[in-house]
Amino acid sequence: MTAVFLGQPGVGNLRGDQSFPVAARTALADSQLRHNLGHATGAIRAKRLAAVAECDDWEQLRAAGSALKQDVLARLPELLAELEANVTARGGHVHWARDGEEANRIVAELIRATGSDEVVKVKSMATQEIGLNEYLEAQGITPVETDLAELIVQLGHDKPSHILVPAIHRNRAEIRAIFEREMPGAGDLTDEPRVLAMAARAHLRRKFLSAKVAVSGANFGVAETGTLAVVESEGNGRMCLTLPETLITVMGIEKVIPRFTDLEVFMQLLPRSSTAERMNPYTSMWTGVHRGDGPQQFHLVLLDNGRTRVLADEVGRAALHCIRCSACLNVCPVYERTGGHAYGSVYPGPIGAILSPQLTGTTGHDDPNASLPYASSLCGACFDACPVLIDIPSILVHLRAAQVDSERGGLPSGQDLAMKTAGWAMGSAARFGLAEKALGAGRLLAGRDHRISRLPWPASKWTASRDIPSPPAETFRQWWARNRGGEQ
């Protein structure tokens, strides 16, 4: 390790242009998108519950996964140094990247050194996060995504909207149109999944056989052995990890785990939580290089990009436990209706709402990422589903508090005043009783049907779609005084 950097903000595809409520409005207006998402998340939700119900020890597994991740974060520097030593000892090369820009430069230089101008890629959140594809294209290097959904996103000049199913916002007809436009020689296509998959297969097979360099991410990096692991479903990962001469893996530093046997816990938690499978079809593990077998050059790029910043927050750091299963997205009632693009970051949904703003830091309430911790009704479905027990609702509240605290001392906002006033009224029972009585004046606003349908801003945000019942003629406090008052 050459230098220690703390608090460097993450850069790359981690922040959108619009605040969540504004971006969500666009998504909500797209009825096709809402249908695609509702259908897809509904189906996987039911499957995940069934897959989890098969494990009698699911709660113990979650606790074990959480404990392992806590241990990792508590001694991250030591484990990363151990990982580096073991990867190096087995013939690999380790590079350290403070942020996305540095990681992109390292990867591009490594590719250029091989003389290649095309690379095949295994689906990887880390390289999506740092915008590696865009950077390589600008450098004259063509990245080819080989995961089917990631390929759909790439060919559609689109952005991923889900961690595991990046094209979840697309239906078959839309995919067919993208393939026909972008895949020359694909021939006649139909909306049938098999036909579309075969077209992608033929397209990708040519790429696998010609590529000299592959770029991957990693689900896990084992410190004790220097082993990297990629978990996938389509076999495209296996092709990328074994066929090319050079393999470059970009891994977030929080993905390190202490021992090989720790995989036992995560390999039970991850497939059931993500694809609702007992075991995913392909798990590839490799340790350094082996003469005559697989890539002869292996580079591991360890990526910080804001992670040590997150680590410094003792409540928020649990976001780094995430194993990118996306169970929280699938159960989230907000994600289900807005889709991933509204979150502006490659990490959408509940985990994105706590991870993205922490990785980038926020610059004030106009920062789009400052709106993310509020993009939740705090219903708690994400915490229930999380295989490593990340208490997302509590971290959302923690980040809201950090946001409010960071703006103290300036001009109070309307919300500040409302909260202060409410706090003052609730500060004494006499004032509270008066406030309750004062609400009774609202009866004047109610129509003959005893409901209030229109109020000025900001209450208009409520009355745009819901009525408010006319306040009661008598408060509970008044009722108690009248009926039970004498007993006290």
Q: Three-state DSSP class for 119?
A: strand
Residues in the chain, total = 488
Would you list the DSSP string of 436-458? HHHHGGGGGTS-TTSEE----TT
Place of tokens 């974060």: 73
423 binds another protein per the rule CB under 8 A: yes
Q: Which window, 23-31, 107-115, 300-308, 316-324, contacts another protein (CB under 8 A)?
A: 23-31
Task: Supply the minimum distance, in Å, between the C-beta of residue 193 and another protein.
Answer: 27
163 binds another protein per the rule CB under 8 A: no
478 C-beta neighbours (distance < 10 Å), count = 16
d(CA 376, CA 374): 5
135 binds another protein per the rule CB under 8 A: no
Task: Give the amino acid at 348.
Answer: P
5 binds another protein per the rule CB under 8 A: no
> Which of 36, 356, 362, 403 contacts another protein by CB under 8 A?
403
- Parallel, antiparallel, or unpaired: how do β-strands 451-452 and 468-469 relate? antiparallel
H or E, element range at 286: strand 282-287
432 binds another protein per the rule CB under 8 A: yes
d(CA 111, CA 119): 8
428 binds another protein per the rule CB under 8 A: yes
57 binds another protein per the rule CB under 8 A: no
334 binds another protein per the rule CB under 8 A: yes
Residue 239, CA atoms < 13 Å, CB-side half-sphere: 22
The answer to whether the beta carbons of residues 251 and 72 sit under 8 Å apart is: no
Q: Which window, 243-251, 261-269, 300-308, 334-342, contacts another protein (CB under 8 A)?
A: 334-342
Q: Three-state DSSP class for 323?
A: coil
Task: Supply the minimum distance, in Å, between the C-beta of residue 25 and another protein.
Answer: 5
> Which of 137, 420, 434, 443 contacts another protein by CB under 8 A?
420
Distance linking the first and last C-alpha atoms of the chain: 71
Q: Kindly give, in sequence order, each residue whose CB lies less than 8 Å from that of residue 467, ignoring residues fewer than 6 positions away.
A: 451, 452, 453
Q: Which window, 62-70, 176-184, 343-351, 457-465, contacts another protein (CB under 8 A)?
A: 457-465
Task: Give the amino acid at 189.
Answer: L
Taking CB under 8 A as the rule, which mask of x and - marks residues 343-382 in contact with another protein? ------------------------------xxxxxxxxx-
- What is the radius of gyration, based on Cα positions, of the chain? 26
472 binds another protein per the rule CB under 8 A: yes
How many residues at the interface with another protein, by CB under 8 A?
A: 64
31 binds another protein per the rule CB under 8 A: no
Residues in contact with another protein by the rule CB under 8 A = 20-21, 24-25, 28, 34, 333-334, 337-338, 373-381, 383-384, 394, 397, 400-405, 415, 419-420, 422-423, 425-429, 432, 436, 439, 451, 453, 458-459, 461-462, 464-469, 471-472, 474-477, 479-480, 484, 488
